[in-house]
Amino acid sequence: MSEIDNHLSKKYDVHKRLGKGAYGIVWKAKSRRSGRIVAIKKIFDAFRNRTDAQRTFREIIFLKEFNNHPNIIRLLNVHKADNDRDLYLVFEYMSTDLHHVIRKGNILRDIHKEYIMYQLFQATAYIHSGNVIHRDQKPSNILLDSECRCKIADFGLARSLSSTELEENQDCLTDYVATRWYRAPEILLGYQKYTKGVDMKIHTMDQIEHIARLLGNSQLLKLKKICSSQTAQLVGKMISKHSVSKWSSTIKEKYPEGIDLLQKLLLVTPDDRITAPEAIKHKYVTKFFIIKNMTTTSTTMSFRHSMTMFSSRWISIDVNYMISLKVIKQTKGCEKLAHAFFREEILSQIDGAINYGYPHS
């Protein structure tokens, strides 16, 4: 295969191309040494400019740091290209991504939705515990396997919130981060500070007018906390033109726990939103909760100067929280049920390219 270098072909048997974009190509392959099925992402001219170099470096460093979490995609290897410009990243292989599942229509059972959300909260809590924010959590960056296990991918837009960056003089938030239709309202409205709440705003707000419909006049003061005065005045004018819509009136009442979780995730100001550790214990996903699965990383990273990782250690949290053996058995039963249903009913209906990061953009 001419698109892949000879030294990679000697290590991997390439099965098929999964996708191609302006930035690179992704293949499904098999390791000739271990027999493991992998995904190989080739990044074209990975260090062509400062922005691309930083994005490539961030993805490698963050994935290396978070490599052992079950809900974060594993980076298995990195290979240089023969031309010294391109770069190959080798990942564990995943069957599909959430974008393709959603496009198939309403094929997910409730247990699938709950299990996927729970795993996303687990991964996000882990990332946030290291003072890192992903900034681009969207369906195509959420990979799924045949057991309905999900993993967050593409850390190219992630950034650290190190101790120095958390101080008053931290860098301003870049308003162009995150894919357009999945940006949090504070990004759309020009908020000038980074917070972990960016990752918790997982529901798309596809236009500022939509935000206005959700606010109402009583929320205008909160709005001023996350945007400039000029933007607040603009959205304030929109508020007066629209009645406030309530999630409880637009979503079936048979899902009260889901409605409650959505409302907590969709709060306009990031500081008011539910956090990932809190969301893990929410009633909507609590059937999957096992305390021993909750881990954090105390990680300090900074790309401001030398792009060097300074420290890393892994610790467990909430060790005093007691869970009975009965609850643990019930939880494992729910996971097995989700695995079986997903494999038999969902995955057989999915086709199309799988996203392993920005080469598909």
Residue 222 annotated in ligand binding: no
Nearest to 39 by CA among 81, 98, 95: 95
d(CA 31, CA 162): 37
Catalytic entry in 136, 175, 199, 206:
136
Which residues contact residue 206 at a Cβ distance below 8 angstroms, ignoring those fewer than 6 apart? 181
**Cα 11 vs. chain centroid, distance in angstroms?**
30
| Residue pair 358/54 in contact by the 8 Å Cβ criterion | no
d(CA 199, CA 149): 20
Token pair recorded at residue 191:
């908020």
| Bridge partners (DSSP) listed for residue 152 | 72, 142
| Residue pair 199/157 in contact by the 8 Å Cβ criterion | no
| Residue pair 67/74 in contact by the 8 Å Cβ criterion | yes
Catalytic residue list contains 136: yes
d(CA 258, CA 262): 6
How far apart, in Å, do the first and last CA atoms of the chain sit? Answer: 23
Residue that is written with structure tokens 């290897």 in the block: 77
User: Which residues belong to the annotated binding site?
Assistant: 42
Provide the annotated active-site residues.
136
